[in-house]
Amino acid sequence: MKKKKKILVHSNHCRAKTGFGKHVKHLLTYLYKTNKYEIVEFSNGKQWNDPSLSTLPWKCIGSLPIDVPTIQEAKSTPENQRRASYGHFKIDDAIKEEKPDIYLGIEDIWGLNDFWKKTWWNKINSIIWTPVDSLPLLDKHVNAIKNTENIIVQASFAQNEFEKQGYKNSHLMPVPIDTDNFFRLDDENRSKLRINNNISEEDFIIGFVFRNQLRKSVPNLLDGFKKFKSENPESNAKLLLHTHWSEGWDIPKLLAEKSINQLDVLTTYFCDNCKQYEIKPFTGQDLDCKFCGTKKSQQTTQISRGVSESQLNQVYNLMDVYCHPFTSGGQEIPIQEAKLTGLITLVTNYSCGEDYSSKESGGLPLNWNEYREPGTQFIKASTCSEHIKDQLSKVWNMRPKEKVKMGKLARDFVIDFCSIESVCSRFENLISEMKPTSWDFDFSYVKKDPTYKPNDIEEDKEWLVDLYKNILKVEDPERDDPEGINHWLKILKEPNKRQSVYEHIVKVAVDENSKNHKIPFNDLLSKDDEGKRILFVLPGNQIDVFNSTSLLKYIKEKYPSHNIYYATEKNNFSILNGNPYVFKTVLYDKIMENFLWGEGQNVESGMFDFVIKPHSNTHGNVNYIHGQKHKPEYDIYYA
């Protein structure tokens, strides 16, 4: 039988209640049902061996490390914690163990940063599926598409920008939407919903479903709503904000500031006890539920506690028009959900909004003014409140048949462009062209050569490429690190810069070797001492290390059959050279602060009988925790 292609999909867990989680669930379910592929899910935020992952129909492994040294490293800095949450500490292990034919990373680009520099990246079929929500493109986006054969984006404006810059290897595929969950109810059921929520048939309901984030343009919408209501009082307009009112924008304060009657602004309350929802004006959190009578069980809907998909469909069916003003967005799934219920959608005509505000999509565009985001200098959109008013008026004055026609067009557009079947079949067509991976390449770290002496090459670029190839062992420097090559060429235009550039590249080589070409700690231990070892840990300054040597004679006399291994920083080794009580100096690592790492948790597991971490006035803390292999007679410390 023909071997199935193995696909490793790396993202949020498929059961996570996030946009990426839904994306992965729909995609993997579709691929699994085809029975064409061997699927492995690599889930961010889950432990490598989490037993709950075994209940899925496909194989799933977590991206968080489980071995103590790697956990310690992952926790050592905020940057490492962030990288660990995105799977950076275990991705190589997952690739080596699973040997996939196709790697698919579904994540914001910073979550996959520099994966394209990994040994395996272009030796297997690697794909990135990422949202791009603003221009200009980040350097990370450009670096990714330069070094990745296939990138999938969710909005046409992103694909258009890549193509403007000469990159033809992007594909347009939005997040797949389950179109069965959202649909227009018949007129009778829509009327019942209004009656149940004290909404009049004559009320013109303008809806907005959103996470209450600052990039959602709530002030602009309120201004547009106020202007529309003032010009069209006969509309009896109400604004339905389906969101959580205790995060992001302070909506009550904005209503007071803009002199908008709070009774004209509705929201969705959800009961934690009976799971029923109620549409009404906002009057605070922790309200009593009218359905089950539970006290203080109602809050405005939110990500972790809120309406079901079926209930959300009912909320959309209470609306007459949907309005989604925002500064930018990767896809904005509520827009597609609203279209599926036959609503005309008013969307800011920027970022992904370009796809959903067109006439062909059953939408109306909202004009905007440009402003720049500090730091990134991204172009962001400030939606024009005057145009919100104008477009609401256009919908209000439409003939019923025209509204129905646009609503049908909107639903058909989403089914054709965003449905699970449409998107996932396009993805399947993409991977069907990919060849299986032969897996004949070596994953081992290529040791750098900081001893290499540069040749006397006159041309700067040729000289620099020679250093990259022979010191850093980069096969194709201009392909693998074009930014680095360009950076150093600019510096080399200045006189007498070759020596400093050479020294920097040598330092990079030394650092890389130190980080990656590590000898397993067990290999440093003598096999002749039969486990009778003591680890003395003191990374401190030279004075601390010098003073600590006064303890070594005492320890050796107390445990004459034990070898003392002294762990400290490299610049302290010279102080210990020749000391008759030190069997061996070893390089300090933060993991050595954990007694259980050295002593183990049982008699068989420890490398040392016990670990001594002396306490001084400037370094460390007394720690009386020891493993079970051997308890020292005393914990030693000095003043």
Which of 511, 491, 509 minimizes the C-alpha distance to 501?
491
In terms of DSSP H, where are the helices of 35-77? 68-75
The pLDDT tens digits for 234-283 are 999 999 999 999 999 999 999 999 999 999 999 999 999 999 999 999 99
Q: Confirm or reject CATH 3.40.50.2000 for domain 521-612, answering yes or no.
A: yes
- Mean pLDDT, all residues of the chain: 91
**b/e map of 74-105 (b: 16 or more CB within 10 Å)?**
beeeeeeeebbebbbbbbeebbeebebbbbbb
The DSSP bridge pattern shows strands 321-324 and 204-209 to be parallel
Q: What is the pTM of this model?
A: 0.76
- Whether residue 105 has pLDDT greater than 80: yes
The pLDDT tens digits for 2-54 are 789 999 999 999 998 788 998 999 999 999 999 999 999 999 999 998 999 99
Which of 459, 456, 464 minimizes the C-alpha distance to 504?
464
Domain residue ranges of the chain, discontinuous segments joined by +: 5-176, 187-413, 460-516, 521-612
The DSSP bridge pattern shows strands 298-300 and 265-271 to be antiparallel
Q: Tell me the one-letter amino acid at 555.
A: I
The pLDDT tens digits for 444-491 are 778 899 999 998 899 999 999 999 999 999 888 887 788 889 999 999
- Whether residue 633 has pLDDT greater than 70: no
Which of 337, 315, 352, 334 minimizes the C-alpha distance to 211?
334
The DSSP bridge pattern shows strands 277-281 and 321-324 to be unpaired
- Whether residue 103 has pLDDT greater than 50: yes
Helix (H) or strand (E) holding 597: helix 595-599
Domains 5-176 and 187-413 share a fold: yes
Dihedral of alpha carbons 237, 238, 241, 246, sign = positive
- Which top CATH class is 187-413? alpha beta
Q: What is the CATH number of domain 5-176?
A: 3.40.50.11930
Separation between Cα atoms, residue 41 and residue 20, nearest integer Å: 13
